[in-house]
Each structure stands twice: as C-alpha cells, then as structure tokens.
C-alpha cells in the first residue's frame, strides 16, 4: 500500500474511532442522567421515610402519654371515695387523737394527689360553670345575691391539667 492509502485508512480509522467515542459519550451521558434520576428518586423516598418515621415516633409518644394519663385517671377515680370518706369522718366529732390521725392520713392523701398532678376543684362562691361542676340542687340565695352562684359543694371535683377527672357536685342559688 502506498503512503496515501495508509494515511486515508488511518484517517478513516480515526474518524471511525471518534464516531464510536462520540456514541459512547452519548450513551454514558444517558446513563448518568438515568442514574441521577434514580438518585433523586431514592433521595426523595428516603426523605419521605425519615419524615414518616418521625411522625410515627411522635404519634406513638402521644398515644403512650394519653394512655398512661387515662390509666392514672381511672385509678384516681377509684380511690377518690377514700378521700371523701376521710372528709366525712372528720365531721363526726371524734376524740382529738383520732381526728389528728385522720387529718394526717388526709394530708398524705392530698399530697399524693398533688404529686400526681391532680388538683381539687372548689367552685364555692363562684358563678356556676357546667364545665367543672354538676348542679344537683337549687337553693334560695341571700337578699341581693345573684342567681347561679355555687352555694355549697356536696362532693369535691378533681382535674389533671385541663382534663376533668370528677365533676364537683354542687348546689346553686336560684
């Protein structure tokens, strides 16, 4: 082969190699774009899963806390009559030592309730609020006294934070 043919063949080979390289570059660019798309898709899925798991943890914590508080409230409702009976016992005119003993037990009972975040509801002298008390009787008020004022508490009410555990039972002025 002569020199011209060799150069022409070499030139053709170079052009053919450039075309192959160009095609390979295009294929690689397409693959890179596809992979970048997959990366974005997986990243989006990962972010969503992290957010979903965070929401799950918050829901679980809230559910657990509410369940615990409901359990505490149901136990408290069952032991409140003990406190009522201690109050009743103090009205019986007992000897001094017995009265002191009952007062000590009542103080411990009240301290335990406070330790659990339970507050007593005493609406005496306040306008009647059906959100914290249940009226079971109407009584005549004093001259010039407004109607709808809580006159007497028959049974104490209790609440934990903003949740009523037991409504106060009261009498209200007419």
* DSSP assignment of 154-165: EE-EEEETTEEE
Confidence (pLDDT) at 18: 74
pLDDT at 131: 94
Element (H, E) at 60: helix 3-90
Give the start-to-end residue ranges of the domains of the chain: 120-174
Whether the full predicted model's pTM is greater than 0.75, yes or no, is no
Radius of gyration of the chain (CA): 41
SS3 134: strand
**CATH says 120-174 is which class?**
mainly beta
| pLDDT score recorded for residue 146 | 84
State the pLDDT at residue 12. 66
Residue 24 phi/psi, 5-degree rounding, is -65, -40
Cα separation of 27 and 14, whole Å? 20
Q: For 93, left (φ over 0), alpha (ψ -120 to 50), or beta? A: left
Low-confidence ranges of the chain (pLDDT < 70): 1-14
Residue 120 in contact with residue 158, Cβ under 8 Å? yes
Which tokens sit at 152? 């007497």
* The predicted structure's pLDDT at residue 24: 86
pLDDT at 89: 94
């Amino acid at each position: 082969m002569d020199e011209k043919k060799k150069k022409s063949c070499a030139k053709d080979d170079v052009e053919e190699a450039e075309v192959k390289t160009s095609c390979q570059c295009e294929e690689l660019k397409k693959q890179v774009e596809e992979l970048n798309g997959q990366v974005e898709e997986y990243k989006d899925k990962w972010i969503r899963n992290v957010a979903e798991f965070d929401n799950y943890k918050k829901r679980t914590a809230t559910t657990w806390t509410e369940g615990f508080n409901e359990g505490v409230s149901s136990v408290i409702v069952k032991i409140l009559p003990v406190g009522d009976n201690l109050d009743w016992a103090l009205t019986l005119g007992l000897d001094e030592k017995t009265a002191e003993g009952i007062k000590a037990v009542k103080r411990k009972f009240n301290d335990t309730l406070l330790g659990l975040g339970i507050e007593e509801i005493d609406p005496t002298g306040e306008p009647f609020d059906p959100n914290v008390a249940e009226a079971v009787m109407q009584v005549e008020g004093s001259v010039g006294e407004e109607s709808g004022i809580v006159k007497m508490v028959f049974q104490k009410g209790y609440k934990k934070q903003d949740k009523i555990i037991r409504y106060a039972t009261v009498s209200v002025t007419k």
